[in-house]
Amino acid sequence: MMGMTITEKILAAHAGKERVRPGDLIQAQVDLILGNDITSPVAIKEFEKIGVKKVFNSEAIALVPDHFTPNKDLKSAEQAMMLREFARKYEIAHYFEVGKMGIEHCLLPEQGLVGPGDLVIGADSHTCTYGAVGAFSTGVGSTDMAAAMASGEVWLKVPPSIKFHFSGSLQTWVGGKDLILYTIGQIGVDGALYAAMEFTGETISSLTMDDRFTMANMAIEAGAKNGIFAVDDKTLEYLRGRYKKSYKIFASDPEADYIQTYDWDLSTLEPQVACPHLPENVKSVREVSDLYIQQVVIGSCTNGRIKDLREAAQILKGNKVHRDVRLIVIPGTQDIYRQAIREGLIEIFIDAGGVVSTPTCGPCLGGHMGVLARGERALATTNRNFVGRMGHPKSEVYLSGPPVAAASAVKGRIIHPEEVLKDA
């Protein structure tokens, strides 16, 4: 009998089945439902139409107003109020008000709300982030979120799996963001369409959890249903004292079926940059050097964790942001912000001439805290660089990891981090 992948085993367990195969339609029990201040208001309206008197489990819903909060205008204030009133009415346990709020996909793992073997859905496409801890997590529409809040179930089609095997020791300044950008550059933005991206190999084993979150986060940029990592000692160390529920660890069978397997030696990989206007338009940093920029954003659900801030600070320490560049640094959560203060990172950013924001998705989607004007070019550690993504349709967004972003902020042009350090 053919074996199963991690993804298939998790879905089978939540559908009450011994086994599932790609293409099967299942009704699965959910462990956690996530919504934010943009997607939840629609879900709340649909939930009220269903006519049920309570949510299926007030402990299994997380509401995180992170896109336009603190409220940027009247409309965002109204949307945030809908979340607040819904959370109060239905006694939602995991509602994160301003002051406790963080960028949702940084916040939920940090707060121990997602763990191995969980089935998590969220009305946000980057919900796939939690595959880093061995969960099946995927984005859904707001109406699916509403139905799940009422029933505790979600309808899914079991995705086929693609295995990505990475080998080789990574060069300095190369991390998870570079690995996932390289991957998307190789297979394209539809290269894993409705598939599970399973990341394996010695290189993956060496990655920090922060790097794994970054990779899982951008699985959707290859069209994937989810991204997932096997649970190892680093995962368990991250979960220790954080994740309070019991959990089951799933692992892919040796004879599991994959529709495609990629095997890459990344020992010579340089930092990567995705050029406009798709995450698949990837080049090495040296191929796009000397491209002048006006703004750098370091943060987002992709790269707003403490490792990201540490790397950026390592480059920025003792340097100044170029006079033609605006540097915006956004810690992913309040705890990350506090840790960055303790380590002196925030002072480094301010001394360099950058600004530091409360946790927010703001500039990533062209919402606030860094909207681009016509003709401006930004380098960001975010996840998407579509036309008009960060502001004006005639602006441009380039994507990179934090080291390249920090170095480029100093030089005023996209550049390899070593070019800044050698001048220090």
- In this predicted structure, the answer to whether residue 423 has a pLDDT above a threshold of 80 is no
Helix axis angle, 306-316 relative to 209-217, nearest 10°? 100
Mean pLDDT of the chain: 96
For 174-184, how does the pLDDT look when each residue is reduced to its tens digit (9 = 90+)?
A: 999 999 999 99
In whole angstroms, give the CA distance from residue 200 to residue 50: 42
Q: Of 221, 238, 263, which residue constitutes the final position of a domain?
A: 263
pLDDT band at 8 (very low <50, low <70, confident <90, very high): very high
Report CA-CA distances (Å) from 276 to 280, 385, 397: 9, 6, 6
Domain shared by 258 and 346, yes or no? no
Q: At which of 217, 237, 263 does a domain end?
A: 263
Structure tokens at 248: 């089951």
What's the whole-model pTM score? Answer: 0.95
Residue 408 inside a domain? The answer is: yes
**Sign (positive/negative) of CA torsion 90, 95, 99, 100?**
positive
Residue 194 belongs to some domain of the structure = yes
- What is the rounded distance in angstroms from the CA atom of residue 315 to the CA atom of residue 299? 15
pLDDT band of 366, cuts 50, 70, 90: confident
The verdict on 288 and 221 lying in the same domain is no
Contact 56, 155 (CB under 8 A): no
Distance, CA of 311 to CA of 178 (rounded, Å): 14
Q: What percent of the chain is modeled with pLDDT above 70?
A: 99
Query: 1 lies in a domain?
Result: no
Question: Does 214 lie in the same domain as 118?
Answer: yes
| pLDDT band, very low/low/confident/very high, at 166 (cuts 50, 70, 90) | very high
Mean pLDDT of 395-413: 97
d(CA 283, CA 280): 9
pLDDT tens-digit readout, 287-311: 997 899 999 999 999 999 999 999 9
For residue 16, the model assigns a pLDDT of: 97
Of all residues in the chain, what percent are helix, strand and coil, respectively (each to 5)?
A: 35, 20, 45
Q: Tell me, yes or no, whether 238 and 292 share the same domain.
A: no
| Pick from 203, 364, 373: nearest CA to 297 | 364
Work out the widest C-alpha separation in the chain, in whole angstroms.
65
- Pair of tokens at residue 18: 């011994």
Q: Please state the rounded mean pLDDT for residues 141-164.
A: 97
Residue 244 has pLDDT above 80, yes or no: yes
DSSP annotation of 133 = G
pLDDT 10s digits, 100-116: 999 999 999 999 999 99
* Whether residues 257 and 345 fall in one domain: no
**ω into 14 cis (within 30 of 0):** no
What's the number of CA atoms in the CB half-sphere (13 Å) around residue 118?
A: 28
Share of the chain above pLDDT 90, in %: 95
Q: How far apart are CA 104 and CA 67, in angstroms?
A: 9
Residues 166 and 186 in one domain: yes
Determine, yes or no, domain membership for 389: yes
Q: Do 222 and 79 belong together in one domain?
A: yes
Confidence at residue 1, expressed as pLDDT on a 0 to 100 scale = 65
The DSSP secondary structure of 280-331, one letter per residue, reads T-EEEGGGSTT-B-SEEEE-HHHH-SHHHHHHHHHHHTT----TT-EEEE--
Q: Looking at residue 370, which CATH number applies to its domain?
A: 3.30.499.10
How many other C-beta atoms can be found within 10 angstroms of the C-beta atom of residue 258? 17
pLDDT tens-place string over residues 73-82 = 999 999 999 9
> Which helix (H) or strand (E) is 28 found in, with range?
strand 25-29
**What region, left, alpha or beta, does residue 176 occupy, with left being phi > 0 and alpha being psi -120 to 50 degrees?**
alpha
Mean pLDDT confidence for 231-260 = 95
The domain boundary, picked from 209, 234, 263, lies at 263
The span from the CA of 123 to the CA of 143, in Å, is: 9
Cα dihedral 115, 121, 123, 126 sign: positive
Q: Are 285 and 189 in contact (CB under 8 A)?
A: no
Co-location of 281 and 242 in the same domain: no
| Pair type for strands 282-284 and 272-274 | antiparallel
Count of structural domains within the chain = 2
51-66: average pLDDT: 95
Establish how many alpha carbons lie within 13 A of residue 140's alpha carbon, considering only the half-sphere containing its beta carbon: 26
| Domain assignment present for 99 | yes
Domain-located, residue 80? yes
Of the candidates 144, 132, 304, which has an alpha carbon nearest to the alpha carbon of residue 219?
Answer: 132
* 84 plus 198 within the same structural domain: yes
What are φ and ψ of residue 114, in 5° steps? -130, 145
State the residue range of the domain holding 352: 272-421
Same domain? For 252 and 287 the reply is: no
The CA distance from 255 to 60, in Å, is 34
pLDDT band at 424 (very low <50, low <70, confident <90, very high): low
Residue 30 in domain: yes
From residue 273, how far is each of 170, 316, 377, 383 by CA, in Å? 16, 19, 14, 11
219/363 same-domain check? no
161 and 285 fall within a common domain: no
